[in-house]
Amino acid sequence: MVAHRLLPSRILLCSRVKTTPHTRLKPLKTLSTSPESETTPSSSDPYLVDKLCFSLNQANNNNTATAASLRNHLIRLNPLSVVEVLYRCRDDLTLAQRFIQQLSLHLPNFKHTSFSLSAIIHILVRSGRLSDAQSCLLRMIRRSGVSRAEVVSSLVSTYSNCASNDSVFDLLIRTYVQARKLREAHEAFTLLRSKGYTVSIDACNALIGSLVRLGWVELAWGVYHDISPSGINVYTLNIMVNALCKDGQMDKVGSFLSQVQEKMGVYPDIVTYNTLISAYSSKGFMEEAFEDIEREEGEQCDYSERMNQSFKLN
């Protein structure tokens, strides 16, 4: 994992105050972004970050001079300086959020890069401000010329120094899916897995389900085979049964269910049976539907009751 060098610093002025989980801050204003490289030189003042952190600590005093000093420091920031401030404040989320809020308030047109936005996203996710984090993610992924590789690389490179967690990657996949950018979501998922990061089963289910609905069944199976060794749940099972049915491979459902039950301990539920009934009946094979389901359930279930439940739900 790449660790970015920080600017020279002799005095650490960001106090380590216990995080207040219920801090209520105003929603972020729209953040501007810049296609410029993340390697833009930092401010010529080697103590700028120290001074800014000190001003942030004094911001609650409602002192006019302190507020003016804070604004003066903010206007001298560049994207790399923003990242360093957030690295300094990572153990004090209240202070980090205050910085993000002041930056968006005083510099609404600040030219962010993917690197600086990624650091902000990590802090917002850790602070439970998922809506604001998703807004920043949307802005980042919609930037012209920004590839999935750049998005993932920026999030990964700032991950450790922001003391982040894998919820950020879940949010990234969900954001792509909700924005209906499924190819991008699949590519981001593949990149994250190649770098050794995990994506929650819920986020994976969202991706797989959307791929199946769009008819990209092959891609869905690729994601399934990647995550299945780590375990799936009944929602994943039902998505893949639906994928087999949409692909006209109902004859493979039985072996698939047997494999999932034996190797993963995941069993079909009422949704599974409804999916099978719908698929078979659409082909005019209602009798085969009954036979297939009865074979799966064997003698361990009251078949009549199961079927009655299925038709009631339909």
β partners of residue 33 = 112
Question: For the chain, how many structural domains are there in total?
Answer: 1
Question: pTM for the full model?
Answer: 0.77
Weakest-pLDDT range from 29-33, 77-81, 210-214, 286-290:
29-33
Q: Over the stretch 191-245, which tens digit does the pLDDT of each residue have? A: 999 999 999 999 999 999 999 999 999 999 999 999 999 999 999 999 999 999 9
User: Residue 66's pLDDT band (boundaries 50, 70, 90)?
Assistant: low
Domain that holds residue 4: 1-136
Share of the chain above pLDDT 70, in %: 73
In a domain, 75, yes or no: yes
In a domain, 18, yes or no: yes
In a domain, 282, yes or no: no
Best CA proximity match to 94, nearest among 62, 57, 137, 69: 57
In a domain, 82, yes or no: yes
In a domain, 109, yes or no: yes
- Write out the two tokens for 252: 């493979």
In a domain, 95, yes or no: yes
User: Residue 46's pLDDT band (boundaries 50, 70, 90)?
Assistant: confident
Task: Please compute the mean of the pLDDT values over residues 131-153 and round it to a whole number.
Answer: 93
In a domain, 4, yes or no: yes
Distance of CA 71 to the CA centre of its chain: 32
pLDDT at 186: 97
Task: Please compute the mean of the pLDDT values over residues 249-273 and round it to a whole number.
Answer: 91
Best CA proximity match to 207, nearest among 167, 172, 234, 241: 172
Distance of CA 111 to the CA centre of its chain: 23
In a domain, 57, yes or no: yes
Non-local (6+) Cβ contacts of 190 within 8 A are none
Q: Which amino acid is residue 57, in one-letter code?
A: N
Q: Which amino acid is residue 175, in one-letter code?
A: T
Q: Is the pLDDT of residue 68 over 50?
A: yes
Give the DSSP per-residue string, the chain: ---PPPPP-S------PPP-TT---PPPPPPPB--S-TT----S-TTHHHHHHHHHHHGGG--HHHHHHHHHHHTT--HHHHHHHHHHTTT-HHHHHHHHHHHHHH-TT--B-HHHHHHHHHHHHHTT-HHHHHHHHHHHHTSTT--HHHHHHHHHHHHTTTT--THHHHHHHHHHHHTT-HHHHHHHHHHHHHTT----HHHHHHHHHHHHHHT-HHHHHHHHHHHGGG---HHHHHHHHHHHHHTT-GGGHHHHHHHHHHHH-----HHHHHHHHHHHHHTT-HHHHHHHHHHHHGGGS-HHHHHHHHHHH-
Best CA proximity match to 158, nearest among 173, 168, 146: 168
